[in-house]
Structure 1
Amino acid sequence: MSNIGISRSFWAMFKETSLTFSFGLGGLFAGIMIASQLGIFSLSPWVITLYPIVISAKGVGSGLLSGRLSTGLHLGTIHTRFIGNTKSFYKLIESLLVLTLVTSVTICAISLIFGTLFWGITLVDFPAILVVVVATMSLGLLLSFVTIKVSFISFERGLDPDVVVYPIMSTVADVFITLCYIAVLNLFFTGALGQWAIGLACLGPVLLVFYILSKNLHEAEFAKTLKESMVTMLIVSLLVNVTGTLLLGIS
């Protein structure tokens, strides 16, 4: 009986993982989109180097969200609904919003150092890099609602969110953040009007983050999530800047 139980458990896990990892093929669409926009990626050195940086940062954010959701669902500290959920759920969302902006600024600061040393950019390029990264990462937050919904559905149907959610959403995030980055770049390089539009659009997330910080500075759960995540984000920011620099070297 125990062997039969193990066999069934193995095949159930195998089917779940096979389905989810098959979504990895969707990453080809991100490459196709980049190939179709090579012209805009040649307009400035920072454009191509920032791409692996924003896509990796979004991947880490998606991993944080899916991991915390899965743990919360299993422990019962998060329920499978958007409205009337637990305090832990809403603090997780607020932490993700703050972390996204902090990560964007951190990425830009480190990119400025790498850019000055290796990319041939100057301090004058920093505002452009900042608004493009913040706008792209802010748009990427829209995907968080999909991640949450997929987590809820998989849990309700008896699937393990740890196995299902991140493999699916990491691929979807790659495609979505690529689309966002290309859209922001196209708007930015249309001229001053596009640049002002992006800059003004960034004010909304910035003001929201300051409001969240003022409300949660003394919240232990909120502060713990930020502290744990910031170390990871800092390491990732350093590593992906190296990746971006190497990509620039071979492009």
Structure 2
Amino acid sequence: MQGLINLIAESEAYNAYKNAMFSLIFDLGGIIPGILLYKLIIPFERSYRWIIYLYPAMLSVRGVINGIFTGRLSTGLHLGIVKANFKNNTEYFWNLYFSMMILCAFGGCFLGPLISLATGSDAVEVSAVAISSMVLSFFMVSGVTLVVAFTAFKKGYDPDYLVYPIMSTIADILVTLSYFLVIWLIFNNGVILSMFIIFILILLWIIYIIKT
């Protein structure tokens, strides 16, 4: 009987189950984005109805893009075409990274006019928030995704089981925070100044990436 228990404990199926259950614990944090939404963003929604319409659409698009990113990243780590470190990584990794960034920008370009049309809101204002939030959230989410994926891989865990379940919750939190930051900047400083500030932050990050 003890031998059977040891055999089960050492089996690949058991290890997969253990890794999956560990990562799914992070789903308990799914309530945090809702709390942040209520505390930080709902007060703005009372004056700008489109804010609450854009939020779930943006979460969905970001979730799809990050799902693609984590899947490709995990596969690349297994195949050896992605190195488990940020510096001196492969051409495949950088192509993947910047293609995801472009997808986020296109996602914002699509969501902005769509939500403004659906709500009858200012297209420039909504598009500025959508594009800025999507791109800013990409840098926040992708950074954490890389840390989780690289750390898990170096520790001997399978990133296929860990990265996406963990990041699905963390990404929602980071997207909510970036959304609030962009809204706060635009409503307190205007569209042009806020876009300039966000552009400078993104440019500095890209320069840092290129230098590494």
Give the counterpart of 1:180 among 169, 178, 181.
178
Is this contact kept in 2: 1:131–1:202, CA < 8 A? no
Q: Which has the higher contact order (CA 8 A, sep 6+)?
A: 1
Match of 1:242 in 2: none
Residue deviations 1:183-205, cap 9 Å, x none? 22122222xx3433222235459
Q: In the TM superposition, what are the counterparts of 1:35-46 in structure 2 within 5 Å?
A: 35-37=38-40, 38-46=42-50
- Aligned-residue CA RMSD in angstroms? 2.4
Partners in 2 of 1:11 and 1:129 — Cα distance?
A: 48
Match of 2:95 in 1: 91
Give the counterpart of 2:191 among 178, 182, 195.
195
Is this contact kept in 2: 1:131–1:198, CA < 8 A? no
Is this contact kept in 1: 2:77–2:153, CA < 8 A? yes
Is this contact kept in 1: 2:136–2:202, CA < 8 A? no
Partners in 2 of 1:59 and 1:31 — Cα distance?
A: 16
Residue deviations 1:140-192, cap 9 Å, x none? 122201101211111122211111000001100001111111122122222xx
| Cα distance, 1:8 vs structure 2 | 2.8
Match of 1:13 in 2: 16
Partners in 1 of 2:99 and 2:171 — Cα distance?
A: 19
Q: Indicate how the Cα distance of structure 1 residues 74 and 94 shifts in structure 2: closer, same or farther if over 3 A, else same.
A: same
Deviating above 6 A after TM superposition, structure 1's stretches of 4 or more consecutive aligned residues are: 205-208
Match of 2:70 in 1: 66
Q: Which amino acid aligns with 2:72?
A: R
| Cα distance, 1:35 vs structure 2 | 1.5
Q: Indicate how the Cα distance of structure 1 residues 5 and 155 shifts in structure 2: closer, same or farther if over 3 A, else same.
A: same
May I ask how many residue pairs the two structures share in their alignment? 199
Q: Which amino acid aligns with 1:200?
A: F
| Cα distance, 1:50 vs structure 2 | 0.2
Match of 2:35 in 1: 32
What's the TM-score once normalised by structure 2's chain length?
Answer: 0.84
Residue deviations 1:103-158, cap 9 Å, x none? 11112233244x1xxx3x15xx1100111011111221222011012111111222
Unpaired runs of 5+ residues, structure 2, are 205-212
Secondary structure, aligned partner of 2:156: coil
Match of 1:237 in 2: none
Partners in 2 of 1:60 and 1:198 — Cα distance?
A: 27
Q: Indicate how the Cα distance of structure 1 residues 206 and 13 shifts in structure 2: closer, same or farther if over 3 A, else same.
A: closer
User: Percent same amino acid at aligned positions?
Assistant: 33
Q: Indicate how the Cα distance of structure 1 residues 79 and 128 shifts in structure 2: closer, same or farther if over 3 A, else same.
A: same
Q: In the TM superposition, what are the counterparts of 1:59-138 in structure 2 within 5 Å?
A: 59-113=63-117, 115=118, 119=119, 121-122=120-121, 125-138=122-135
Partners in 1 of 2:175 and 2:44 — Cα distance?
A: 16
Residue deviations 1:11-55, cap 9 Å, x none? 212221111111011111111111213221121221110000111
What's the TM-score once normalised by structure 1's chain length?
Answer: 0.72
Is this contact kept in 1: 2:108–2:132, CA < 8 A? no
